[in-house]
Structure 1
Amino acid sequence: MREKILNNATDLFLNYGFKSVTMDDISNNLGISKKTIYQHFQNKTSLVEAVSMHVFENISCGINEICNSKKNPIEEIFDIKKFVMEHLKDEKSSPQYQLQKYYPKIFTTLKKKQFEVMQECVKDNLNRGIEQGIYRPNINIEFISRIYFHCMTILKDNELFPLNHFSMNTLLDNYLEYHVRGISTEKGLLTLNKFINNQS
């Protein structure tokens, strides 16, 4: 039952937001009493935390699989973006922004975990890109991996990029192209242009 509640709550939170969805909504959606939910989760905050970590673990596993396949580094970052968007329901409800606003402690813990996973993945991507002659050999990997994480996080700021003006999918595509163009060699730019043309 715990797994069933977790999966259902994940779906509702990602579609409608952590703030909007109530424990009544979850119990009604599942056709169970709130008492049953509280047997597994002490309160809404503990459920939000469990959902956040559940989504994080699922996405981390998927990102690791993509990274382990050792694809072309440029194709890899777009594949990761596609995978993350599918698992976050295209961020219709801006879940990360709501988490930061209404559950700051959970957000801080999650952000730290995200940083650790992304640092390893991005550094590996940058090193392989340099080895393959796709990225410039003189780039500062430590700086770029950190600025990459910060920029990806800031894109989810609903005040800076309101979802009624910016599609998250388009924002990420624009940022990834901006990122790759800034670090690529001529060979890398040819690879990027070919990849973008094939996507359109």
Structure 2
Amino acid sequence: MTKKQIPPVRDMHAEAMDRVISVSRRLFQTYGLRTMTVDEIARHLGMSKRTLYQLFRDKNELVRMVVKQFIEEMQANCESIRKDARDAIHETFRMFQYLDGIFRNLNPIVFAEMQRYHPDAFMLFDQHQQTYIKQLIIHNLQRGIQEGFYRADLNIEVIARFRLESGLLPLRQDIFPKDQFLLHEVQHELMLHYLYGISTVKGHQLIQQYQQQFDEQSNKKL
């Protein structure tokens, strides 16, 4: 007689860590990194600061784990978008729609605060940008050229670096102060500027088509 297999019980420690990371991420995105002290995070979680420190060595480690989770989630979503996209321009619009959902709920001071107060987490984010995101952009450029939607004379390395840096411009408070600009609207304008600059006439027609679809979807949400 075979013994009935008992389903594995999830480690309670890991479950508690996931909850802290999830709640902390929401708080950081809304209020910024500096405002959300360990005391504030513990209060929102309904747990003691001592318990929180049993899960994470310090706030730096917590911020780093939040960034790590964000990166893993982003990569999974980007891969799904890349595989399902009909063409290179459709892929760029889908990526924008995904980022639009993030930017609408993101306090732009997070980026500057991470760079200044949590350099380990920022280094993790920067490495992700310089490796995975840059390669994603290069693949999209190569695809667009092959499809005839992007100009064949593009210097892919130069354009990829430009796109990488311009993608972070909406987060620059010295350029786009949050009391004067909406993060997702700035991102949208920069995305269109980028696309029209690299596309052929054939590509321009497709951009207009996808932009119309995007506008219709946005109006339905209002």
Q: Which TM-score bucket, shorter chain as reference?
A: over 0.9
Question: Which of 43, 56, 78 matches 1:41?
Answer: 56
Q: Deviations over 1:40-96 (max 9, x none)?
A: 101111111111111111111111111122432112112112213324553234322
Superposed displacement of residue 195, structure 1: 1.5
What secondary structure, in the 3-state scheme, does the structure 2 residue paired with 1:137 have? coil
Q: Deviations over 1:113-167 (max 9, x none)?
A: 1221111111111111111110111111111111110111233111111111111
Tell whether 2:149 aligns with 1:123: no
Task: Map 1:92-103 to 2 at 5 A.
Answer: 92-103=107-118
Superposed displacement of residue 107, structure 1: 1.1
- How many angstroms apart in 2 are the aligned matches of 1:183 and 1:63? 21
Tell whether 2:129 aligns with 1:107: no
What secondary structure, in the 3-state scheme, does the structure 2 residue paired with 1:91 have? coil
Aligned to 2:97: 82
- How many angstroms apart in 2 are the aligned matches of 1:82 and 1:35? 40
Is the 8 Å Cα contact of residues 14 and 95 (structure 1) preserved in structure 2?
Answer: yes
- How many angstroms apart in 1 are the aligned matches of 2:65 and 2:110? 14
- How many angstroms apart in 2 are the aligned matches of 1:54 and 1:8? 12
Q: TM-score, structure 1 length as denominator? A: 0.93
Aligned to 2:12: none
Superposed displacement of residue 33, structure 1: 0.6
Q: Which runs of 5+ in 1 are unaligned?
A: none
- How many angstroms apart in 2 are the aligned matches of 1:163 and 1:14? 14
Q: Which runs of 5+ in 2 are unaligned?
A: 1-15, 216-222
Is the 8 Å Cα contact of residues 90 and 168 (structure 1) preserved in structure 2?
Answer: no
Question: Which of 150, 162, 170 matches 2:185?
Answer: 170
What secondary structure, in the 3-state scheme, does the structure 1 residue paired with 2:35 have? coil
Q: Identical aligned pairs, as a percentage?
A: 25
Tell whether 2:31 aligns with 1:16: yes
Question: Which of 68, 78, 87 matches 1:72?
Answer: 87
| Larger CA Rg, structure 1 vs 2 | 2
Aligned to 1:53: 68
Is the 8 Å Cα contact of residues 49 and 106 (structure 1) preserved in structure 2?
Answer: yes
Superposed displacement of residue 189, structure 1: 0.4
Cα 1:182–1:88, aligned 2, differ >3 Å: closer, same or farther? closer
What secondary structure, in the 3-state scheme, does the structure 2 residue paired with 1:145 have? helix
Deviates more, 1:109-118 or 1:93-102: 93-102
Question: Which of 200, 207, 220 matches 1:192?
Answer: 207
- How many angstroms apart in 1 are the aligned matches of 2:213 and 2:119? 40
Superposed displacement of residue 197, structure 1: 2.1
Aligned length: 200
- How many angstroms apart in 2 are the aligned matches of 1:181 and 1:30? 46
Cα 1:121–1:180, aligned 2, differ >3 Å: closer, same or farther? same
Superposed displacement of residue 191, structure 1: 0.5
Is the 8 Å Cα contact of residues 81 and 91 (structure 2) preserved in structure 1?
Answer: yes
